[in-house]
Amino acid sequence: MIIFHGFRLYGKVDHVPGLFHVATMFFHVQFLPVVPWQSVVVLEGRQAGGKPVMMPIRLSGKSILIGWLRLALVLGAGIAGFMALINIDKPDKHLIPFLLAVTVGCCLALWMSYRVFRAKPLRALQLATQVGIAPEVVAGHFAHRLSDAELDELAQAARASNEPALDEYQASDR
């Protein structure tokens, strides 16, 4: 019997499309995340030697929980789907609709987990400053979605992190 083990990224959260996302390196057994090791910011579109560029950050509780939640959803969908299949020829078929609903619900929740856990503007700015991405790049990503008040709040946060370049971007955008 072959046992696969090692380290792998799970728990992708705080995604800013085209820029970065947060994930946690887990020790895994048979590709099931077991022990969280290190959270990283993965820079998208950049590669060093064929591997994505990753910047270590402190452990992200959200990434760890989402990594384990997604594992539970995959296992739940698989088990419920398998149970529905083995009960299909039984005379008492009242469980099959429930098991199929659980399977579909787990699959839908898994899909939604990738859509819901995107970075909000202030979290994106915080992560960007930790890894050396200019605040105006983050502001450019969110500019078309934010109101003037939200852009002002983002500019104040950038000033608090000693990054005045955001004010210039905001003024030129209006």
- The whole-angstrom separation of Cα 137 and Cα 13 is 19
Provide the pLDDT confidence category of residue 138 given band limits of 50, 70 and 90. confident
Residue type, 148: D
Which position has the higher pLDDT, 44 or 153?
A: 44
Using one digit for the tens of pLDDT, what is the confidence trace for 112-137? 998 888 888 888 888 888 888 887 78
CB 40 within 8 A of CB 20: no
* Tens of pLDDT, residues 3-23: 888 898 999 998 888 888 999
Query: Within 10 Å of residue 61's Cβ, how many Cβ atoms?
Result: 13
More confident residue, 53 or 24: 24
Residue 16 token pair: 């800013």
Mean pLDDT, the chain, as a whole number? 83
pLDDT cut 70: percent of the chain above it: 89
Give me the mean pLDDT over the 88-115 stretch: 89
Residue 163 has pLDDT above 50, yes or no: no
The pLDDT value recorded for residue 161 is 63
Q: Which residue did the predictor score with more confidence, 90 or 78?
A: 78
Q: Where are the domains of the chain?
A: 5-116, 121-173
What is the model's pLDDT at position 162? 55
Q: Which is nearest to 33 in space by CA: 42, 24, 41?
A: 24
Which has the higher per-residue pLDDT, 136 or 37?
37
Which of these, 31, 51, 30, 33, lies nearest to 42 by C-alpha position? 51
HSE of 62 in the Cβ direction (CA atoms, 13 Å)? 16
Maximum Cα–Cα distance for the chain, whole Å? 71
